[in-house]
A and B are shown apart, each in its own frame.
Chain A
């Protein structure tokens, strides 16, 4: 039955031609691609959780090799204290960031696998944030065991700082939810009692019943004002202490005035009370704030990925030359650390051995590893590709470049969106004006008819609706963010929606943005009449043993399964690999390494690799980057939308020119250093252009920062994703034009909302000031104007939804996780 099985039962990747592993799962023989997958599948079966394979909708992440000895390091006291929290009675709690949660079945599997482990008392998995909160009983269970259980199940987990346990975000959102609910309940009840009063006005009510319903209204409005509206009062006090007139001041003044005036009216048996309006007022304002908070938290979850890329352990070299494995926060400046091949550099330091090659993709987005010589600075977070490294640490912990960027990112996230701030400032200005109009009304009526002054002033306060102002922006932005997320466009900074809609230029950082991140084999040139296939087979046999991008491209180009046996394989950092095939020593790599004297690179390709033996060169492989599918269509659409498209690349002139021609881009610049790119962007912006920069490297950090909107691809460097304003999930470049259309629509609707609120208020307020608006009409007007704003915001994404259904087929998995943003 395995004859036609082509993919691994566990991870779903294609099976290798040789070395297929088999296992009996649920009585059926299944094929797996590697021992890691087999171990995970057998372990899942052993736990009795084989249902996972039936429930899941996606293949699992290929399990990494089990690092049990690494897990043990979490037991060190200093480390454990850093990442876990004592709950008393020997119970401890930790927050794990879990890699590889791909669908609902993962959540199911993780919860069950961990709960089955002895000593684990509670597990909560949050798929959207990729986190799990685990509580266990010491000493029956411990952190290394939990990590081990997870890694056997096929998930890599990383304990986060203990601080993340008392998540500020969680407390904030719980608090807001409670206040919102109290306001909602109070509002509903108050409106019910008010309805009796309004109808009683038509159908004369007994005075005692009338009185009863007034006091009932007071009863339900009181918790709303005293509990739900507390954040407004607190904010007002805070800004008054700071001698500022923040937006909370006029809002709390209005709440307090309406509430107290209604109370006075109720006490002295006056004409009207407004307990229903004040409750609604508080509820709608809180709803606006809640929506905005959700958008902000969502952005935070997305960029927590930063925690994942910082290594947690380092190997410190002791005076006697021995290595000691310690937690990263135990490192001090001046320590000497050892990084082995494939390891992550734990802190910024100077290389003290001869040379090594590091992958700084994290910081630069460049997939090609960089060579470092003795004395060069290695940056925390970069991955060692070849060789080992000894570092003398120069900067540790919070001083490293990586931590600096992380802090910046965190700070940017805590800020409220500018649009929302502007919206709230508009609301505050508006309330201030309403308050002065109210005073005018009182003064005016006290000359005409002092008995009506109070009720007319109250009507002005109630009928004017800052709620619609306060809701206009958060409603539109939240809706836009969730519509975009469903299309695979994750907006990290809500401000970006505005900038995206207003942009006039798009600048692509060519490398990795318009092209596939992997190199591809462009052509093979053989020497001395060697058949192409033979050359490729020899090269691929060598190349498949290396992880260098060029080697991977050659191995990928060979679609046969017959490899030569390679003995005595050696890899020379930065030069190439060599090995013995059939008694002949072969070298594959840079021209000056494999066969000195052969001209290697030319300008038409990105990299050339030469295969040679002692007799001379056998073949030359030219590698180049491939255009991403859809790149051309996307650029045509963007140009159709009236945007100027340009390419700024660090690459060679001929190459950039070729790509620009193939894509129909007229404006391009080659051989650009980040400073050149920045200067160009600044020049563009000085001429009034609003620029979208699309890149996947953070060596372009200044460039991205210099643009109005920075967009990164989801498949790019993690740090690029963290520092950009918008992340395109997967490699869906084609969602960009659509995103712009949605952003434009959102802005239009936002403006409509604001104009509508202004119109309503200008129309209603003079009437109220003249005493023509009874309280029931004021309440209806206020709620209707807010409802209009929300319903209008829900239109965002509707128009394009029908047009673009074709484009959203096959949306990446992440979209389903975030669609409810």
Chain B
């Protein structure tokens, strides 16, 4: 491989670093998307298989369809807030503060659902078990939502605190990170909608 060398220091421009970070986040989204695909596959596979008619045994209560959608509303608002704040810089700190609060509320609501699952039954010895494959699958969607809440809240809190401090190293790179965060916010919104859509099929 023939080469020649140019004289300049090894220092990638913030533009290059920003593009690199965007690609990295998008690849992680592919991995997370594959995870979501696998749990959606599990849901519809077991639902359609309905082994021993135990997808949703008789008398087992479920969450309402609306509650599946309510729980992902914070993701949609975070996405919108971020889009708005990208157009108007002065709104960035309040938008991220609002997003963080909404995500904490969303996480609490998801936890509240987990603590009040209507489909957990008790066997003859009083031991709890998840009655039906619907119940088993629902818990993994709740866990995935919770994971998204934690990661997204970490990002919004970080952007909020960094916005407050203001004395950041590189404004161009900081701008890129706002955009990169937008890729993640878009994904968790899409992932949330897919989750809510899937769990609406009982």
Do A and B come together as binding partners? no
Binding site for B on A (CB under 8 A): none
